[in-house]
Amino acid sequence: METGKPKKPRLLFNISTAIIIFFALTLGYSLLTENQAPANQISLSELVTDINAGKVSALSINGDAVEVTYTGETPEVKAVRKEDSVSILDSLKNLGVDSKKLSAIGVTVKTPSGFSFWFFNLAPFILPLVFILVFIWFLSRQVRGAGMQAFSFGQSKARMIAPDDKRQRVTFKDVAGVKEAKEELSEVVDFLKNPRKFFEIGARIPKGMLLMGAPGTGKTLLARAVAGEAGVAFFSISGSEFVEMFVGVGASRVRDLFKLAKHTAPAIIFIDEIDAVGRVRGTGVGGGNDEREQTLNQILVEMDGFEPTEKVIVMAATNRPDVLDPALLRPGRFDRRVILDLPDRNDREEILKLHSRKKPFAEDVNLRVIAERTPGFSGADLYSLMNEGAILAARENRTKVSQYDLIRAIEKVMLGPERKSHLLSVKEKEITAYHEAGHALVASVLPFADPVHKISIISRGRAGGYTLKLPLEDRRLQSRREFLDDISVSLAGFVAEQMMFNDVTTGPSNDLQVASALTRDMVTKYGMSEKLGPIAYEASAGVLYGKPFAEREYSERISAEIDSEVSHIVEGALKKATDVLTKHKKALQAIAGRLIEVETIERDDFEKLLIANGIVPKRKAEIEHKV
Ligand code: ADP
Ligand code: MG
Ligand code: ZN
C-alpha cells in the first residue's frame, strides 16, 4: 500500500544524496591521511647520508612514519616514510648506513594509538562498505514507499488518504456546482459521521454509489470530498490498475483492498474508471478478458459479503455507464446512481471563482463573461482555462491576470495552441478564408444556428481555421430545426469552396463527418425523420445498460431507408447553404477579403460587415422570439 503520491523524484534525490555523501567521506578521509605527511619529508637515502655525516641525534618510529631529530642548537625534525612491513633498521642497513653511527643514535619505537591505528588501517575497507550499506538502506526505503511490483505482488495498490491528512483533504467547499449530486451524497456523509442513528432505526444504507458523468465533471474530486466531509479514510484505486499482467492479481488486490478498508472502517473505497473492469461480461468484446471477469466477480462477492453494520461505502466512477455489467447495478451493489452534469453558466462561474483563488486579477476581469463564453466546458476544462490564463500573463511578465488572458485561454483550451508558424500559401489562405466565411455567413443568416463570435484563419491544433459560434443561452434540448441549420452550417465551408473555386479540397472532410453523423443521429436516434417516424433504431449511449454490442435491430429494408433518408436530409441542408451563399455572395466576398487581410475577425467587426451587407445580426431577444 502506498500513501500519498508516487515518489519517483525522491529516488533520484536519494541516489544523488548518497553519491554526495560518498564523495564527502572520501574527501575527508584523504584530507586526514594527507595531514600525516608533513611538508619537510626526506627520502630514506638522504637519511642514510645524514646519519653517516653524524647530523642525526634521534629516530622515533611510529608505524610507517619515522621522525628524524637533527643535532644542532635548534633541533630540526624531519619525517621519513619507510616501506611497509620492513624494519627501518634493515632498510637503513641495505642502503649502507654506518652501523657505528647508527648505534650511537637513540631509537624509540612508539606503537600508534589504538584508535588511529585501526582507523587508518581499516578505513579503506570499511568506508566503502558503510557507503554500500547506507545506499541499500536508502533503496529499500524507496522500495517500500513505491510499493514496487515485485514485492507487493497481489497486495492492493490503493492509495489511501488518512482522515487527519490536512494537506490532501478536500471538502464539498472545493467542489462548485453539482448541487443535486452533493445533496445525494450528503446522506452518505451523514451516515459515515453518525452510523448509530441509522442502525437504530433499522435503515439500510446503500453500499455502493455510482458517480456518472462526462470526463472532467469532478467525479474523483467529489468522491474525495465525501471522505473529507465525513472525516473518514479514503482508499482509491483505478479500474485499470486491477487489470495487469498476471491473472488472479486483480482479484487478490480487490480482496486486500476490502480487508484493509474494513480494518480501518469507517472508510470509503473509491474505484475510479470502473468501466475498465466492469464491462458487460461474456461478450467477447475486448478479448474476453478472464482477468477482468475475475476481478469484477471479486468486487461483487466482497460487496455482497458486507455485514449490514459495516461502515464501509464503495463509490465508483465512470463516464461510460452504458457499457457496465448489469450485475454491478443490481440492488445491494451500485444501486445508487449520482449523475454529474456538465456545469451550466452559473456553475461555471462558481467553478471559475473557486479556481481563481490565489490568482491575482486585474480589475477588468469579469468571470461572468468567461462563464458565458464557455458552454460545454467541464470543471477540468475550466480549471485548465484558469491555469492557461495565468501562464499567458506570466509569460508576458505581468503580475496580474487580465480578462484578455482568460479569453485567449478559452480558445487555447478549446482548440489547442495557435500555430503561427504554419504558413499557408496565398492560394491556401484564400481557400481557407472563403471556407470559414461560408460557415460564418450561413450561421448568421439561418435563424436557428448559433451566432458567430469569432472567425480566424490562423490554424490551431488540427483545425486549419475556425469559426467560433456561441449559443445565446445554455441549452439542454436541441430541436429538429436547430439540427437542420447546424448541418447546413457544417456544409457551408464545402459549398463556399465549391462555389468560389469550382473545386473542393480535403479541408472540409471533418465538416462532412460532423454533418453526416448529426444527420444519422437525427434519423436513427431522435425520430426526427418524417419518413421513418419516431422510432429509435440505435440506442443512444446511456439508455440501454449492458447491451453487449451494437447489434443492428432492424431489417435490410430499414437500413436502406435510413441511408436514403440521410442523403435526403443532407441534400436539403446543402441546398439551403447554397441558397444563402448565392444570395449573399457579396457578403461572402467581403468577409473572406477581410479575413485574408487581418486573419481574425471578432464579433463586433463581423457584425459591422454583416450590417454593411444588409444582414441583421442575431441578438438575444430576437432568438427568444423566434424559438
Ligand atoms: P473526473 O474524475 O470526473 O474526470 P476530476 O474529478 O478528476 O474529474 O476533475 C478534474 C479537475 O477538474 C479537478 O481536480 C478540479 O480541479 C476540476 N473540477 C472538476 N469539476 C469541478 C467542480 N465541480 N468544482 C471545482 N473543480 C472542479
Ligand atoms: Mg476521474
Ligand atoms: Zn469547416
Q: Which of 22-31, 89-98, 166-175, 288-297 reaches the highest mean pLDDT?
A: 166-175
What local confidence, expressed as pLDDT, does residue 41 receive? 78
Q: State CA 448 to chain mean position distance.
A: 38
Rounded distance from Cα 324 to ligand 2 centre (Å): 16
Alpha carbons within 13 A on the beta-carbon side of 303:
28
Give, in words, the CATH class of 345-415: mainly alpha
Q: What is the pLDDT of residue 627?
A: 38
Measured between alpha carbons, how far is residue 163 from residues 185, 226, 234, 238, 530 in Å?
Answer: 18, 11, 7, 20, 59
Q: At 563, is the secondary structure helix, strand, or coil? A: helix
Task: State the burial class of residue 317 (Cβ atoms within 10 Å of its Cβ: 0-12, 13-18, 19+).
Answer: buried
> d(Cα 627, Cα 623) in Å, to the nearest integer?
6
> Look-up: residue for cell 632498510?
91
User: Residue 82: enclosing H or E segment and its boundaries?
Assistant: none
- Beta strands, E only, 12-71: 41-42, 56-62, 65-70
Ligand index nearest the alpha carbon of residue 216: 1
CA-CA distance, 621 to 625, in Å (whole number)?
6
- Starting from the CA of residue 223, give the closest ligand: 1
Q: Is the CB of 217 under 6 A from ligand 1?
A: yes
Q: Quick: pLDDT tens for 318-371.
A: 988 777 888 888 887 888 888 888 888 889 999 999 998 888 888 888 998 888
Q: Where does the pLDDT of residue 244 fall: very low under 50, low under 70, confident under 90, or very high at 90 and above?
A: low
Specify the pLDDT at position 488.
Answer: 95
Task: Indicate the range of 7-16, 19-28, 540-549, 556-565 predicted with least confidence.
Answer: 540-549
pLDDT over threshold 80, residue 625? no
Condensed to tens digits (0 to 9), the pLDDT of residues 385-410 reads 999 999 999 999 999 999 999 998 98
The interaxial angle of helices 426-445 and 585-598, nearest 10 deg, is 130
- pLDDT band of 512, cuts 50, 70, 90: very high
Residue 359 backbone zone (phi > 0: left; psi -120 to 50: alpha; other: beta): beta
What is the CA(168)–ligand 1 centre distance, in A?
Answer: 15
Nearest alpha-carbon partner for 168 in 217, 218, 219, 228:
228
At residue 586, the pLDDT reads 93
Contacts of 431 (CB under 8 A, 6+ apart): 497, 501, 505, 507
pLDDT of residue 311: 82
CA dist 6 and 148 (Å) reads 11
Tell the CATH superfamily of the 159-340 domain.
P-loop containing nucleotide triphosphate hydrolases (3.40.50.300)
- How remote is the CA of residue 170 from the centroid of ligand 2, in Å? 15
Note the pLDDT of residue 280: 67
- Count of positions (residues) in the chain: 627
Atom of ligand 1 nearest to the CA of 211: 3
Residue nearest to atom 5 of ligand 1 (CA): 218
Residues with Cβ within 8 Å of 5's Cβ and at least 6 positions away in sequence, in order, are: none
CA gap 466, 460 in Å, rounded: 8
DSSP 383-451: HHHHHHHHHHHHHTT-SSB-HHHHHHHHHHHHH--B-TT-PPPHHHHHHHHHHHHHHHHHHHHSTTSPP
pLDDT surpassing 50 at residue 3: no
Please tell me the residue having the least CA distance from ligand 1 atom 12.
Answer: 380
Confidence of residue 608 (pLDDT cuts 50, 70, 90): very high
Contact between 217 and 347 under an 8 Å Cβ cutoff? The reply is: no
Question: Which pLDDT band holds residue 92 (cuts at 50, 70, 90)?
Answer: confident
Distance of alpha carbon 284 from alpha carbon 301, whole angstroms: 23
Mean pLDDT of 191-206: 82
> Is the pLDDT at 52 greater than 60, yes or no?
yes
Q: What angle do CA 500, 504, 507 make, to 5 degrees?
A: 110
- What pLDDT is recorded for position 575? 95
In whole angstroms, what is the distance from residue 127 CA to residue 536 CA?
Answer: 78
Q: Give me the residues paired with residue 467 across strands.
A: 455
Please classify residue 354 by burial: count the beta carbons closer than 10 Å to its beta carbon, then call 0-12 exposed, 13-18 middle and 19+ buried. middle
Q: pLDDT digits over 204-228, tens only?
A: 777 888 999 888 999 999 999 999 8
Instruction: Please state whether beta strands 159-161 and 233-238 pair in parallel, antiparallel, or not at all (unpaired).
Output: antiparallel
* pTM recorded for the entire structure: 0.64
User: Which pairing describes strands 466-469 and 452-456: parallel, antiparallel, or unpaired?
Assistant: antiparallel
What average pLDDT score do residues 17-41 get?
71
Q: How confident is the model at residue 177 (pLDDT cuts 50, 70, 90)?
A: confident
pLDDT of residue 105: 79
- Is the model more confident about 297 or about 432? 432
Q: Per-residue confidence at 2, pLDDT binned at 50, 70, 90?
A: very low
Residue with cell 456561441: 470
- Indicate the top mutation candidate among 383, 384, 386 to test ligand 1's pocket, ranked by most ligand atoms within 8 A of CB: 383
Q: Among residues 208, 297, 310, which one has the least CA distance to residue 255?
A: 297
Query: Of ligand 1's atoms, which has the minimum distance to the CA of residue 223?
Result: 6
Task: Please name which of 553, 544, 552 lies closest in space to residue 323, comparing C-alpha atoms.
Answer: 544
| Ligand 1 atom with the shortest distance to the CA of 178 | 23
Query: Does the Cβ of 216 fall within 6 Å of ligand 1?
Result: yes
Of residues 575 and 125, more confidence is placed in: 575
Mean pLDDT, rounded, of the chain: 80
pLDDT confidence of residue 4:
41
pLDDT above 60 for 6: no
CB-side neighbour CA atoms (13 Å) of 597: 7
Regarding the beta carbon of 354 and ligand 1, being less than 6 Å apart is answered yes
Q: What confidence score (pLDDT) does residue 320 get?
A: 83
Which cell numbers in the block locate residue 300? 461483487
Instruction: Say yes or no to pLDDT of 231 above 80.
Output: yes
Environment class of residue 313 by beta-carbon count within 10 Å: exposed (0-12), middle (13-18) or buried (19+)?
A: buried
d(CA 283, CA 361): 54
Cα distance between residue 11 and residue 141, in whole Å:
10
* 3-class DSSP state of 346: helix
Listed in sequence order, the residues at least 6 apart from 399 whose beta carbon sits closer than 8 Å to its beta carbon are: 360, 393
409 vs 103 pLDDT, higher one: 409
Active site residues: 436
Query: What CATH number does domain 44-111 carry, 3.30.720.210, 3.40.50.300, 3.40.50.2000, 3.90.110.10?
Result: 3.30.720.210
The reply to whether ligand 1 has any atom less than 6 angstroms from the CB of 177 is yes
Q: Which CATH number fits domain 426-626: 1.25.40.20, 1.20.58.760, 1.20.1090.10, 1.10.3720.10?
A: 1.20.58.760
Angle, CA 306 vertex, CA 305 and CA 311 arms, to 5°? 165
Task: Label the pairing between strands 208-213 and 312-318.
Answer: parallel
**5 pLDDT above the threshold of 60:** no
Q: What are phi and psi of 128, to 5 degrees?
A: -60, -35
Give yes or no for residue 543 having a pLDDT over 60: no
Strand order in the sheet with 600-602: 466-469, 452-456, 600-602
Of 470, 486, 460, 455, the residue nearest 371 (C-alpha): 470
**Cell 631509537, located at residue:** 107
Tens digit of pLDDT for each residue in 454-466?
898 887 766 677 8
d(C-alpha 48, C-alpha 619), whole Å: 112
Average pLDDT for 151-158: 53
Q: What is the pLDDT of residue 574?
A: 95
Confidence band, pLDDT 50/70/90 cuts, at residue 565: very high
User: Percentage of residues in the chain with pLDDT exceeding 70?
Assistant: 82
- Name the closest ligand to CA 504: 3
Residue ranges of E strands in 180-308: 208-213, 233-238, 267-272
pLDDT value at residue 113? 63
| Neighbour count for residue 35 (Cβ, 10 Å) | 8
**Residue 264 reports pLDDT greater than 70:** yes
Nearest residue to 436 via CA among 569, 312, 600, 285? 600
Name the 3-class secondary structure at 531.
Answer: coil
- Lowest-pLDDT choice from 234-238, 413-417, 470-474, 520-524: 470-474
pLDDT of residue 423: 66
Query: What is the mean pLDDT of the segment spanning 29-38?
Result: 62
- φ/ψ of residue 53, rounded to 5: -80, 0
213 is in an annotated binding site: yes
**What pLDDT is stored for residue 34 in this prediction?**
59
Burial (CB count within 10 angstroms: exposed 0-12, middle 13-18, buried 19+), residue 374: buried
Domain ranges of the chain: 44-111, 159-340, 345-415, 426-626
Ranked by mean pLDDT, the top range of 35-44, 57-66, 253-262 is: 253-262
30's CB contacts (< 8 A; 6+ apart) are none
